[in-house]
A and B are shown apart, each in its own frame.
Chain A
Amino acid sequence: MTDTAWIDTALTSARPQAVGALLRYFRNLDTAEEAYQNACLRALKTWPANGPPRDPAAWLIMVGRNVAIDEVRRNRKQEALPEEQAISDLGDAEDAIAERLDGSHYRDDILRLLFICCHPDLPATQQIALALRIVSGLSVKQIARAFLVSEAAMEQRITRAKARVAEARVPFETPGAVERSERLAAVAAMIYLIFNEGYSASGDTAEIRSPLCEEAIRLARLLLRLFQSEPEIMGLTALLLLQHARTAARFDENGAVILLDDQDRSLWNKPMINEGLALIDKAMRHRRSGPYQVQAAISALHARAEKPEETDWTQIDLLYGALEVMQPSPVVTLNRAVAVSKVRGPQAALDMIEPLAARLSNYFHYFGVRGALLMQLERNDEARIAFDRAIALANTSAEAAHIRMHLDRLIRDSKPTAAKAAK
């Protein structure tokens, strides 16, 4: 690292805490962000000479607050001299805020900051963009790049989201237990969205979008440090780590998808997998299961298998069964069918997904799975129809290319059959 890179790192890591506390103080997002920016400017001036403060977040909060108050003072001076009383009041306020710089306040500050980004009126893409801008402090340019849109479009998206949040009036008093857990669930869902935005990238954009995955993991870890005994937050963090651990193995040099079974498992990130496994172990001890924990447990079974044939599909089938109960959805059933095909064969899996046809008639993966099952049953003509439909519905060129590979194999395999028939 260069000599001043440590300042950037310190500012980035202090940001959620500092902006969160300034937001509590000013109750206005723009003012809080501006105060934080001003504090950062001062940090860049004084930290190189004086060294880092013992608690960078506390320093930024204090300075950000003071700069904003100075501005108020300056503006007042232009009207009339400030009253002695007002100045001593400010002194008291500083003492009060210094006392409040303890863990429990930080916790609700950061949660609130994340929570305002999850406003239900905001479409998912705006929630994510807002969180990345405000909480993570990514620049509009960085966010635009990760979302593959122009900087101007992203600027507009964020401005719109901010305006809507400003109207929303988030309560600033310390939340009660029920409200806190509701906020936590909303924030967890938003962090998962950020991750998926990066994870669902196609091969040619995976590199550009992977910072979204890394940022989501950072936010999940942050949340887990604040709420150390929440098994679902452990599950969420584990899930993200276990999925992200496979990044290096997910695409070939042409950007085409490599399926789990075909991935070079030596490319999986071991420390990341170990961290994920450790977190699931921790979560299980609480015996309060939830969708993130179950999904993480499924990921863990894949991660534990050194070879694809060592995968414990029976257990995966059971876990998807549990997930179906917690979160009934045709997509979950579709995923379960893949496990079922390994345990009970392709016909059982096909029977399972047949009833989903109406609800998943526009879902790429439905036809991909259906085609693969039909192919295993050597019902090649039907498989071809399913694959054709999948290609028509593919979201990325990599998805389409992957299905085309199956089709090519079908055509190749069916040739000898045709020859036989001709005889």
Chain B
Amino acid sequence: MLYAILCYNDEDAVGSWTKEQDAAVMKKLAVVQDNLRKQGRLGPVARLLPTTAATTLRKDDPPLVLDGPFAETKEQLLGFYLVDCKNLDEALEVARDLGRANPGGAYEIRPVGTFVPGSVPA
């Protein structure tokens, strides 16, 4: 069974870390990740860019593009995609296609900062 582990924290606090603090945390995390990778159990790992870089597509008819992260509380996170796009417009195009196939709810479109491909067999 694959489990997704979604990371939540106070963005402003994490953003206030110094370079050294950030590097120290990443180093500790890398130890845990390496261990999982060696066992062939680690899927892709992504560190997202700040929510200020996010755009939200509300899957209304017509779809509505909003600046900023997904902010509602009455909907829950049900899944995610990682898609390689040239720019935001292309990402929004993909999101619109997905939205046509499955209307209702919203997509938050957030660029990925660092990405490590996984070692789990498909």
Contacts and interface: CB of A to CB of B under 8 A. Distances in A.
A and B associate in one complex:
yes
Interface in B27-71: 47, 49-53, 55, 65-68
B50 to A, nearest CB: 6
A274 B15 contact: no
Main SS of the interface on chain A?
A: helix
Interface string A210-236: 000010001001101100110000100
Interface stretch (B16-24, B75-83, B100-108): B16-24
A229 B88 CA distance: 15
Contacts of B55: 282
Contacts of A218: 15-16
Given A5-B21, A281-B89, A271 B114 contact: yes
A357 interface: no
A1 B10 contact: no
Contacts of A9: 13, 16-17, 21
A225 B52 contact: yes
B68 A228 contact: yes
A222 B66 CA distance: 18
Contact of A13 (B10, B51, B111, B113): B10
Given A13-B12, A275-B113, A282 B67 contact: yes
A12 B21 CA distance: 14
A98 interface: no
A10 interface: yes
Central interface residue in B12, B68, B88, B111, by most chain A CB within 10 Å:
B12
A299 interface: no
B98 to A, nearest CB: 19
Nearest to B56: A228
Contacts of A224: 52
Interface size class of A (residues with CB under 8 A): 20 to 34
A13 B13 contact: yes
A10 B13 contact: yes
Contact of A275 (B13, B25, B53): B53
Given A13-B15, A221-B15, A222-B12, A274 B113 contact: yes
B73 interface: no
A281 B25 contact: no
B17 A279 contact: no
Contacts of A10: 10, 13
Contacts of B19: 214
B111 A274 contact: yes
A196 B103 CA distance: 46
Contacts of B10: 10, 13
A282 B53 contact: yes
A18 to B, nearest CB: 12
A237 interface: yes
Contact of A278 (B16, B17, B49, B114): B49
Contacts of A278: 49, 53, 88, 111
Given A225-B12, A274-B111, 13 more contacts: A1-B24, A10-B10, A13-B10, A13-B12, A214-B19, A218-B15, A222-B12, A228-B68, A229-B66, A275-B50, A275-B113, A277-B87, A278-B88
25 contacts: A1-B21, A9-B16, A9-B21, A10-B13, A12-B13, A13-B10, A13-B13, A13-B15, A221-B50, A225-B12, A225-B51, A225-B52, A225-B68, A228-B67, A234-B67, A274-B111, A274-B112, A275-B50, A275-B113, A278-B53, A279-B53, A281-B89, A282-B67, A285-B88, A285-B89
Interface of A: 1, 5-6, 9-10, 12-13, 214, 218, 221-222, 224-225, 228-229, 234, 237, 271, 274-275, 277-279, 281-282, 285
Interface of B: 10, 12-13, 15-17, 19, 21, 24-25, 47, 49-53, 55, 65-68, 87-89, 111-114
8 A-B pairs with the lowest CB-CB distances in the bound complex, closest first: A281-B88, A228-B68, A271-B113, A13-B12, A278-B111, A278-B53, A228-B67, A229-B67
